[in-house]
Chains A and B, each alone.
Chain A
Amino acid sequence: MSDEHGHDPALEVHDLTVSYLRRPVLYGVDFLVPQGRLVGIIGPNGAGKSTLIKSIMGLVPASGGWARIYGKPVKEQIRRVGYVPQRESVDWDFPVNVMDVVLMGCYGRIGLIRRTGRKEKARASEALDKVGMLPYAGRQISNLSGGQQQRVFIARALAQESDIYLMDEPFSGVDAATEAALVTLMKEMRDMGKTVIVVHHDLATAREYFDMLLLLNMRVVAFGNTREVFTGKLLQQTYGGRLTVLSEIADKVAKDGG
Chain B
Amino acid sequence: MALFVTVACALIGNYLVLRRISLVGDAISHSVLPGIAIAFIMTGSRTGTPMFIGALVAGVAATVFIEILHSRSRLKQDAAIGITFSTLFAIGVILISIHGAHTDLDLDCVLFGKMDFLPVKEPVFLGLPGVAVTMGALAFCVGLLIILFYKELLVSSFDPALAASMGIHPRLVHYLLMSVLSVVVVGAFTSVGAILVIAMLILPAATSCLLSERLWVMMLLSLLHAFLSSLAGVHLAVALQVPTAPACVVAGTGLFVIAWIASPRQGLISLWLRNPDPEGAMEA
Contacts and interface: CB of A to CB of B under 8 A. Distances in A.
Contacts of B218: 95
B168 interface: yes
A94 B165 contact: no
A95 B212 contact: yes
Nearest to B165: A83
Interface string A102-114: 0010011000110
B209 A78 contact: no
Given A58-B164, A94-B157, A112-B152, 16 more contacts: A57-B164, A57-B165, A59-B161, A59-B164, A78-B165, A82-B165, A85-B161, A96-B154, A107-B152, A108-B166, A108-B168, A113-B148, A115-B150, A140-B213, A156-B162, A160-B166
Contact of B161 (A81, A89, A140): A89
Nearest to A113: B148
B159 A85 contact: yes
A161 to B, nearest CB: 12
Interface in A20-38: none
Contacts of B151: 104, 107, 115-116
Interface of B: 18, 20, 148-152, 154-155, 157-159, 161-162, 164-168, 209, 212-215, 217-218
Nearest to B219: A95
Given A94-B18, A94-B158, A59 B209 contact: no
Contacts of B214: 95-97, 100, 140
B158 A107 contact: no
Contacts of B150: 115
Contacts of A192: none
Contacts of A94: 18, 157-158, 215
A90 interface: yes
A91 B165 contact: no
Contacts of A54: 161
Contacts of B166: 78, 107-108, 160
Contacts of A82: 165
**Chain A: interface size category:** 20 to 34
A41 B20 CA distance: 32
A54 B20 CA distance: 23
Contacts of B168: 107-108
Contacts of B149: 112-113
Interface string A160-172: 1000000000000
Query: 4 smallest A-B Cβ distances: which pairs?
Result: A108-B166, A83-B165, A140-B213, A85-B161
A134 interface: no
A173 B188 CA distance: 46
Given A95-B213, A97-B214, A104-B154, A83 B161 contact: yes
B165 A96 contact: no
22 contacts: A57-B161, A57-B164, A58-B164, A78-B166, A81-B165, A83-B165, A85-B159, A85-B161, A85-B162, A90-B159, A94-B158, A95-B209, A97-B213, A104-B162, A107-B152, A107-B155, A108-B166, A108-B168, A112-B152, A113-B148, A140-B213, A156-B162
